[in-house]
Amino acid sequence: MMLFQLQILALASLSVSGFAPISGRSPSSIHKVVVQHQRQQELELRAAQKRKGKSTQSDSDKSSNVDPSKQAALEVVLNQIERAYGRGSIVRLGDASTDIQCIGTGSMTLDAALGGRGYPKGRVVEIYGPESSGKTTLALHAIAHSQKNGGVAAFIDAEHALDPAYAAGCGINVNDLLLTQPDSGEMALDVVDQLVRSAAVDVIVVDSVAALVPRAELEGGMSDVQVGLQARLMSKALRKITGSLALSQCTVIFLNQLRSKVGVIYGSPEVTSGGNALKFYASIRLDTRRKEILPDNSGIRVKVKVVKNKIAAPFRVVNLDILFGTGIDSWGCMLDAAMDLDIVERRGSWYAFNGENLAQGRHNVVALLKSNPELAEQLELAVREGLDDMIKKPDYVEESGTAPPASSTVREESNIRGEEILE
């Protein structure tokens, strides 16, 4: 009887909340309605708990997966590390900034090949290749781009061969460029170490690794056999400056030469000087090769291959035009980047932008861009927007044709050593 009265009260509340009135119903039907109402309440409660669980899933996973005793021990250890080595010496990766700042290369096509922005800050970059292949020109344009953004640059001229007039033609403010011509390899790398630790320099170029002569070799005789001095010197220097680079956000660009190994039958005999340490410490390695001379002896066409890249996909190949006296042809590179991003269409020998023909022939299009600043500004804006989209979508370049697949690149570049391809 008591249960029946409770059911009557529940049904009264149900009738108030929108259910049919209870008059004229039997006790069995009243019991069914009550049970149905209870089940509906249980389902609503479970749905609410499920929604709440989804919103706090990450927090609950963190709290449930980690043992409280281990969490307490971890906090103690983290506090001890911060007291011993300073605040921020150890952080969680999710709390740290993962955005990599970059310095432009002076060529939009090379920026696209490197991931869309250029040389990364706080890293080591190696540019190597045969003679007269544009290594110094690439480094000078990196310095010019850094100075344009208000940065400070230094040039370690170990070869004693820097041309100030050509550097000015590449866009460098020679009055603000720091220059040193060291007497030995130890002096050059010690200057690099001190400049990096100062955190006041943005770009340092070392030209070149092959010219860094150890002091023991300078003081010895011509007949002395000294094995591995330069390799040990480079290995020690890179161990010292790598940690400081990340803190100072300074980019060090090493230019390197090629040597030929004797007695190599299979594979390429080419090898870079200075040992193997630079290959491991470098985040980006560029291989430059001169392909042809431009018409009217105006410059050279250079093929640059990204042999190693830690911030984007490697094995991308771009072609650059280097003009005598002014460096990289930025207008031609912008046109090539626009074609790779499908911003400019090629219809036979004609080039079209936004559905309108620009000119006939690549040389005439470049001349039109130089004479029409408004058109050049529109094209540059469209290319940079395309590069930004490419950064968000890494496969964009490979689909557009700027970056061939690694397999085709390996087949095309047979002169690259096998160990470099496997890096």
5 pLDDT above the threshold of 60: no
295 pLDDT above the threshold of 80: yes
Count of CB atoms situated within 10 Å of the CB of 166 = 16
Average pLDDT over residues 277-302: 95
9 pLDDT above the threshold of 50: no
Residues 192/237, Cβ–Cβ less than 8 Å? yes
pLDDT band for position 21 (cuts 50, 70, 90)? very low
Tens digits of residue pLDDT in 28-46: 565 565 556 666 666 676 6
Residues 37/22, Cβ–Cβ less than 8 Å? no
**What predicted TM-score, i.e. pTM, was given to this entire model?**
0.76
What is the crossing angle of helices 27-55 and 2-17, to 10°? 60
Q: What is the pLDDT of residue 38?
A: 66
d(CA 275, CA 264): 18
Among the residue ranges 52-66, 112-126, 224-238, the one predicted with the least confidence is 52-66
Considering only residues 39 and 27, tell me which one the structure prediction assigns the higher pLDDT.
Answer: 39
Amino acid at 148: K
Phi-psi region of 83 (alpha: psi -120 to 50; beta: other; left: phi over 0): alpha
57 pLDDT above the threshold of 80: no
Phi, psi of 402 (to 5 degrees): -65, -40
Look at the chain and count its residues.
Answer: 423
| End-to-end Cα spacing for the chain | 84
Residues 294/281, Cβ–Cβ less than 8 Å? no
Task: Choose from 171-175, 262-266, 360-364 the range with maximum mean pLDDT.
Answer: 171-175
Q: What is the pLDDT of residue 14?
A: 47
Q: What is the pLDDT of residue 354?
A: 85
Percent of the chain with pLDDT over 70: 77
pLDDT band for position 48 (cuts 50, 70, 90)? low
Cis ω for the linkage preceding 208 (within 30 of 0)? yes
Q: What is the pLDDT of residue 307?
A: 96
pLDDT band for position 413 (cuts 50, 70, 90)? very low
Q: What is the pLDDT of residue 349?
A: 87
Average pLDDT for the chain: 82
Q: Is 361 helix (H, G, I), strand (E, B) or coil?
A: coil
d(CA 40, CA 395): 50
Q: What is the pLDDT of residue 318?
A: 94
Average pLDDT over residues 99-118: 89
422 pLDDT above the threshold of 80: no
Q: Pairing between strand 344-347 and 350-353? A: antiparallel
195 pLDDT above the threshold of 90: yes
Q: What is the pLDDT of residue 141?
A: 97
Q: If you write DSSP's letter for every residue of 159-222 in order, what string do you get?
A: TS---HHHHHHTT--TTT-EEE--SSHHHHHHHHHHHHHHT--SEEEEE-GGG---HHHHHS-T
d(CA 197, CA 93): 24
Q: What is the pLDDT of residue 28?
A: 57
Q: What is the pLDDT of residue 393?
A: 64
Q: What is the pLDDT of residue 56?
A: 47
Greatest Cα pair distance, the chain, in angstroms, is 120
Average pLDDT over residues 358-387: 89
